[in-house]
Structure 1
């Protein structure tokens, strides 16, 4: 019976996390009080701290999880390369899918990053830089760019891959149209910038 209880606790925790994320995404992290957050996730204010040490820690966990998922998209690109398949369409498809599965986390990562402590921002910044560098190694392994130019290019490329799916869905483009447009935009930018 213990495994069932553990599974139930895990499911309850995930459900509460998802409710908190939805509230943050809807209202904005800074506009949500601890009391409102507790009521929204179905806990008393006092027991909220047992589940989530602080609002900032919860936000940090949600954004960190997104960067872990973004790292996983790079693994899909590596597998495509190992199988002799084109890497860029694979990465674009993986980002399209991730944006469909986690739109609220993308919104939080862009909008509410500034609400985190300096230490949390630095840790997430390092995760993002690692993701961006990995992305560049996959897409443009032969580039001659270096230093800040290369870092800026990685940042812009990652931003395109992370933001375009939501923008294109808002324009009611089909998945096929969206993926094709993303591939053309990203490929064109890569050829002109890193070629």
Structure 2
């Protein structure tokens, strides 16, 4: 039998992660046993434990990956600004695309975050706050609010960027119309809140 190359192993692992994510999204994280998860992804329980010590670690990995992707959208916004473009338009388009590619990860991050350990939640909250701060600095760099009001504004803006694409895509809005509506909603909120 020929040896399995690293690219094939990586592809198989990614496919299994996607199947695990789909099962968590369909049934709910708390309703899936490790044995059921292993059978669903085509592994023995022992093999699954080789990759992840617990299903909680797998969920954490999926949500952490999403936050890394969200952080990468900020780099796109910075590059758009450096070219003289709109950071907001770039962020909206990047979030729309990310939601189209990873809707299940967004669902898990919102619904099953509470299933993680306190340490895992604390680390993800740090990633979330860093992302929220980055969003605010990009799209409202001269915000006049201070303290908790500023932090709350950053949270709301990031939440809108993360949830509007899913809501609008579920309504089957064409991409151009959805992007335009997102921009109008976010601009309206920014203008009123950050004057």
Quick one: distance in 2 between partners of 1:148 and 1:40?
44
Deviation at 1:94, TM superposition (A): 0.5
- TM-score for both structures, normalised by structure 1: 0.97
Quick one: distance in 2 between partners of 1:7 and 1:92?
33
Where does structure 2 lack aligned partners over 5 or more consecutive residues?
none
Residue 46 of structure 2: aligned partner: 46
Residue 26 of structure 2: aligned partner: 26
Q: Does 1:124 align with 2:124?
A: yes
Alignment: residue pair count: 194
Quick one: distance in 1 between partners of 2:86 and 2:169?
24
Residue 111 of structure 1: aligned partner: 111
User: Is the partner of 1:173 in helix, strand or coil?
Assistant: coil
The C-alpha deviation readout for 1:5-50, integer Å capped at 9, x for no partner, is 2111111111111110010011110010011000001011122101
Q: Does 1:140 align with 2:161?
A: no
User: Is the partner of 1:69 in helix, strand or coil?
Assistant: helix
User: Is the partner of 2:43 in helix, strand or coil?
Assistant: coil
Quick one: distance in 2 between partners of 1:146 and 1:116?
31
Residue 56 of structure 2: aligned partner: 56
Quick one: distance in 2 between partners of 1:173 and 1:46?
44
Residue 73 of structure 1: aligned partner: 73
Quick one: distance in 2 between partners of 1:125 and 1:107?
16
Could you list the structure 1 runs, at least 4 aligned residues long, displaced by more than 3 angstroms after superposition: none
What RMSD over aligned residues (CA atoms) do the two structures have, in Å?
Answer: 1.1
Quick one: distance in 2 between partners of 1:52 and 1:13?
12
The 5-angstrom pairing of residues 81-92 of structure 1 reads 81-92=81-92
Deviation at 1:176, TM superposition (A): 0.8
- TM-score for both structures, normalised by structure 2: 0.97
Quick one: distance in 1 between partners of 2:79 and 2:11?
31
Quick one: distance in 2 between partners of 1:146 and 1:54?
41
Where does structure 1 lack aligned partners over 5 or more consecutive residues?
none
